[in-house]
Structure 1
Amino acid sequence: MSSSCGATEPAAGRILSLITVSPAFDPHGRPRKPGALCIGAQKAGTSWLAQMLGQHPQVWIPPFKEVQFFNHRFIPGHRQWIGWHYRNKPDEIRARHKARGLPMPPELDAYLDGLTRGQMFHNHWYKRVFAPAPAQAMPMDFTPEYASLPDDGVDFVANVLPRARVIYLVRHPVDRAVSQLRMNLRREGRNPQTLADWLAEIENPVLDDRGDYAACLPRWQARFPDMLVLPFGRIARDPQAVMDAVEAHLGIGPFLYRNLREKVFATPDGPRPPHKAVAALAERLRPQIAFLEEHMGADFLAETR
């Protein structure tokens, strides 16, 4: 899943390496706002949840899953890689159809082309992203980076989407950071060799923003007090209970999900930080762990891994 690492991923089974987004597609749909957001956390199960909700006829998820609209506006440092995201995702979707021996639907091809040409990331463009959602389905934006929006960014979200139903998946701070670190090293082709190298890696502030629960949770709960906050570990232990809670929160009916206990995007083999580096990371993240215990309770914290 977009969340993997030292903690156990959703229960055993074949790893699902491709997200199943909503198959329904209305080429004549009108631009509309999403009715729900999944704001993260990164490496905390958002791809698994998208895999499940993408099957539900009352939910519609864009074919590239992560829209990256609000962070593009409020986190300038994200803009360079968001450009890469939109340059590459359409080609990935076309390649996926080809690999499966399926023709690329012309309406999907036109949709992807239209969204990635000309001016992007304005308000009407955002609504166009969700235009193909069938009339009976709730459009949903899955973008884990939204969790780290600053105060004015979350204010903007609340102004644009005042009735949005928000979901936040929380993974144990240390497990989440280790998973993100391993993903970053794999993408960058780096392999720390010494303990000193690993200790330098865990000090990288890039690991902090996506897992700064002490800042993110109160900020979002102040604007969306009914936000559904779920612990990552529950996905492995009781995925049906997770989906029951999500369905109730979104106001959608029950559904019999396929592959409920299968992994999505599990972290492949690669560099693993030594125990001493993980212990140092745990010490550095102790305030985040303490915050979760105080804010959400000891039982919730235990379920984050």
Structure 2
Amino acid sequence: MTDRPGMVDAMVIGAQKAGTTWLWEALRRRADVFTPPVKELHHYDHRHIPANRAWTHRHLRRGVRQALRWHVNRANPFDRDWIDYLVDLADRAPFTQGWYARAFARAPAGALRLDVTPEYASLPPEGAAEAVADNPGLKVVHVLRDPVDRALSQVRMGFARRKLAAPGREDWAQALADPDLADRSDYARHLATWGAALPPDRILRLNFSMLRDDPAALLDRVEGFFELPPAARPAGFADAVHAGPRIEAPAWVRADLDARLAPQRAAMARALAAAQPPRLRTDLGPGLDLAPSPATPSRAGQILSLVRGRG
């Protein structure tokens, strides 16, 4: 693989609750892949989805705090360059073009620079167009999950964050009415946006069921698409990451989603049928057979503040 212009070479864009964290964990273990220590940089959705700006800074700082704590607890000696890099990621003009370039500046020569941010699937056309224009030669993996199963996983994640172990009918109804659920489930729009932004040979659409049934085959497809050579698989590489809570959905909830998301299920089926060879098509549901310089004192203050969770 040769060096490419732009800030990143590759993206994994979603969908949310479709195994993107697993892919991030699997790919970041490779020496020939560089991805920042904060999964989901949210650079392009911060710029093009104004509602996300209410939480993107908080998400970034939380991710940096986690990376700093990991380093402080395990590194001996400390890597001051790495610590400065993390603090810069949190505090130095985040979500600007210069910041995004610096996020990948530590990539070794020739390494694949990878941004894994599921939210990019929801970008408007101008956002996807900017991502492609900024990064010539960009390749994108778009993992699609049955939209009803994906929506239920999102709802359960929301319940878990609210510590609702036994949600009632009103809780379910409120979750189903959340505009964010509808937006993340709008596969037809997502597929059209990215289909217009990239030629077919630079976007790989995969079925989440491959991760469930044959994770090694899914990872092989992704690595081949990104032109990465075969690599040994570490023990436990197929283990689930961030498995959702087990909260059974009432029958009426699933029936509501089945009806509401039928067009999105059909859009997913069409996209996978067009993108994947027959031997890789998998069942999508009823009726579908598809398969270091020292830190300055002020810098030290920033580091302590981030590690302690302030700001």
* 1:91 maps onto 2:90 in alignment: no
Q: CA deviation at 1:93?
A: 1.6
User: Corresponding residue for 2:221?
Assistant: 245
Which amino acid in structure 2 is aligned with residue 117 of structure 1? D
Range that drifts further, 279-288 or 197-206: 197-206
Match for residue 294 of structure 1 among 238, 254, 270: 270
Which amino acid in structure 1 is aligned with residue 284 of structure 2? A
Q: CA deviation at 1:66?
A: 1.3
Which amino acid in structure 2 is aligned with residue 206 of structure 1? D
User: Corresponding residue for 1:200?
Assistant: 174
Which amino acid in structure 1 is aligned with residue 219 of structure 2? M
User: Corresponding residue for 1:261?
Assistant: 238
Cα 1:189–1:106 shift into 2, 3 Å: same
SS of 1:302 mapped into structure 2 = strand
User: Corresponding residue for 1:212?
Assistant: 186
Unmatched tracts of structure 1, length 5 or more: 1-30
Once residues 74 and 174 of structure 1 are traced to their aligned partners in structure 2, the CA distance between those partners, rounded to angstroms, is 26
8 Å CA contact 1:72, 1:82 repeated in 2: yes
Once residues 93 and 265 of structure 1 are traced to their aligned partners in structure 2, the CA distance between those partners, rounded to angstroms, is 17
User: Corresponding residue for 1:12?
Assistant: none
Once residues 69 and 249 of structure 2 are traced to their aligned partners in structure 1, the CA distance between those partners, rounded to angstroms, is 34
* 1:58 maps onto 2:58 in alignment: no
SS of 2:141 mapped into structure 1 = strand
8 Å CA contact 1:36, 1:141 repeated in 2: yes
Q: CA deviation at 1:103?
A: 5.7
8 Å CA contact 1:293, 1:301 repeated in 2: no
Cα 1:102–1:43 shift into 2, 3 Å: farther
Which has a greater percent of helix? 2
8 Å CA contact 2:6, 2:136 repeated in 1: no
Unmatched tracts of structure 2, length 5 or more: 292-311
Which amino acid in structure 2 is aligned with residue 161 of structure 1? N
User: Corresponding residue for 1:173?
Assistant: 147
Q: CA deviation at 1:185?
A: 1.9
Percentage of matched positions with identical amino acids: 36
- Number of residue equivalences: 274
8 Å CA contact 2:13, 2:141 repeated in 1: yes
Q: CA deviation at 1:279?
A: 1.8
Once residues 119 and 23 of structure 2 are traced to their aligned partners in structure 1, the CA distance between those partners, rounded to angstroms, is 16
8 Å CA contact 2:209, 2:282 repeated in 1: no
Once residues 155 and 301 of structure 1 are traced to their aligned partners in structure 2, the CA distance between those partners, rounded to angstroms, is 32
Match for residue 118 of structure 1 among 92, 97, 100: 92
Question: Which has the higher relative contact order, 1 or 2, with Cα contacts under 8 A spaced 6 or more apart?
Answer: 1
Match for residue 282 of structure 1 among 258, 271, 285: 258
Deviations 1:170-204 (A, max 9, x none): 00001100111111222233466433442332122
Q: CA deviation at 1:261?
A: 2.0
Once residues 137 and 116 of structure 1 are traced to their aligned partners in structure 2, the CA distance between those partners, rounded to angstroms, is 23
Q: CA deviation at 1:98?
A: 4.8
Deviations 1:69-111 (A, max 9, x none): 0001000100121011122112112223455576653222110
Once residues 101 and 287 of structure 1 are traced to their aligned partners in structure 2, the CA distance between those partners, rounded to angstroms, is 50
Deviations 1:227-278 (A, max 9, x none): 0111001012112211221121111100112223211111135x44222212
Once residues 126 and 274 of structure 1 are traced to their aligned partners in structure 2, the CA distance between those partners, rounded to angstroms, is 43
Cα 1:37–1:159 shift into 2, 3 Å: same
User: Corresponding residue for 1:37?
Assistant: 11
8 Å CA contact 1:231, 1:301 repeated in 2: no
How large is the RMSD of aligned CA atoms in angstroms?
2.3
- Whichever of the two has the greater Rg, that structure is 2
SS of 2:91 mapped into structure 1 = coil
Q: CA deviation at 1:162?
A: 2.8
Cα 1:217–1:130 shift into 2, 3 Å: same
Q: CA deviation at 1:287?
A: 1.2
Deviations 1:17-54 (A, max 9, x none): xxxxxxxxxxxxxx961110111111001011111111
Once residues 135 and 261 of structure 1 are traced to their aligned partners in structure 2, the CA distance between those partners, rounded to angstroms, is 29
8 Å CA contact 2:206, 2:272 repeated in 1: no
Correspondence list, 1:7-46, <5 A: 33-46=7-20
With structure 2 as the length reference, what TM-score do the two structures score?
0.81
Q: CA deviation at 1:55?
A: 1.4
